[in-house]
């Protein structure tokens, strides 16, 4: 009997966790489709044996067109795996969080997952496929300047849990992968966006939150310096795709496991005090 090659679509495949996962699965015999937004990125994906799919997860028409192109390629065999990885972050005090910025954060990290998942469901059903959503340990608690990002990832975790329950009735599954600090460009992009947002804050916001913002930036750089390679997450994503009985959630990184344990067993006041003490040290 000839083995059927498994197919997977990975969003945000041009860098970071998405790129590492796409390259790993391609090396291990999967047929990998990876999304990109810029035409110039298509050649780089092809060079890594990743079939490019131009798609912006925040745009309905783009998602429909991208999935239509994918459907032509996979045909009746369908799609075995969907890895919703595309994501972004912003850091701003909740008091000064503009609704448009919050909508952008949710559009990328939550609504984009829903758009892509819904569009891919016919192909996933044909292969009794599996959905992997890339969340974050930051979705388990609220931290200073992390309200928008944490809210998006917390909502994603809840939506994934509901989806997993629903899909269990039709022989499919959904898994949440929760990385801690990972070596990706999201750190630099997040800091760049933080600088941009800070430049738009009124003077009183800088007076009130300036030292805290500096502390979060310092703490973020410290976390980035100790981040683990994106390949670690790629290995976990492959495990989640191939396991006969995948876990509902996979934590990636020592920091993610430690924070999850502390969040589970410490009272709220004690956990929040621990987070605040780390920031106070960064303030100096």
Catalytic one among 80, 149, 209, 250? Answer: 149
Q: Which residue pairs, CB below 8 angstroms and at least 24 apart, start in 54-59?
A: 55/11, 55/116, 57/11, 57/12, 57/86, 57/108, 57/112, 57/113, 57/115, 57/116, 58/104, 58/107, 58/108, 58/111, 58/112, 58/115
SS3 for the chain is CCCCCCEEEECCCCCHHHHHHHHHHHHCCCEEEEEECCCCHHHHHHHCCCEEEECCCCCHHHHHHHHHHHHHHHHHHCCCEEEECCCCCCCCCHHHCCHHHHHHHHHHHHHHHHHHHHHHHHHHHHCCCEEEEECCHHHHCCCCCCHHHHHHHHHHHHHHHHHHHHHHHHCCEEEEEEECCEECCHHHHHHHHHHHHHHHCCHHHHHHHHHHHHHHHHHHHHHHHCCEEHHHHHHHHHHHHHCCCCCCEEEECHHHHHHHHHHHHCCHHHHHHHHHHHHHHHHC
Compute CA 24 distance to the chain's CA centroid, rounded to the nearest angstrom.
17
Is residue 149 part of the annotated active site? The answer reads yes
The residues annotated as belonging to the active site are 149
């Amino acid at each position: 009997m000839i083995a059927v090659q498994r197919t997977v679509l990975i969003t945000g495949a041009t860098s970071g966790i998405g790129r590492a996962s796409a390259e790993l699965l391609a090396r291990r015999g999967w047929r990998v489709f990876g999304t990109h937004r810029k035409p110039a990125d298509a050649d780089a994906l092809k060079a890594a044996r990743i079939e490019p799919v131009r798609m912006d997860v925040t745009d309905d028409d783009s998602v429909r067109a991208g999935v239509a192109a994918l459907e032509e390629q996979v045909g009746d065999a369908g799609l075995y795996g969907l890895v919703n990885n595309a994501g972004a972050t912003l850091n701003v005090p909740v008091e000064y969080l503009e609704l448009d910025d919050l909508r952008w954060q949710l559009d990328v990290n939550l609504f984009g997952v829903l758009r892509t998942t819904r569009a891919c469901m016919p192909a996933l059903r044909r292969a009794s496929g599996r959905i992997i959503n890339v969340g974050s340990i930051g979705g388990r608690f609220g931290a200073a300047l992390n309200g928008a990002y944490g809210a998006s990832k917390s909502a994603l975790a809840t939506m994934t849990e509901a989806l997993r329950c629903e899909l269990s009735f039709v022989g499919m599954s959904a898994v949440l992968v929760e990385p801690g600090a990972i070596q990706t460009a999201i750190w630099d992009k997040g800091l760049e966006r933080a600088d941009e947002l800070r430049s738009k804050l009124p003077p009183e916001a800088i007076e009130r939150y300036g030292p805290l913002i500096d502390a979060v930036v310092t703490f973020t750089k410290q976390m980035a310096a100790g981040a683990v390679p994106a390949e670690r997450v790629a290995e976990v994503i492959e495990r989640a795709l191939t396991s006969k009985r995948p876990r509902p959630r996979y934590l990636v990184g020592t920091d993610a496991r430690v924070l999850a344990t502390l969040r589970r067993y410490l009272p709220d006041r004690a956990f929040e005090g621990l987070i605040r003490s780390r920031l106070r040290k960064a303030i100096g």
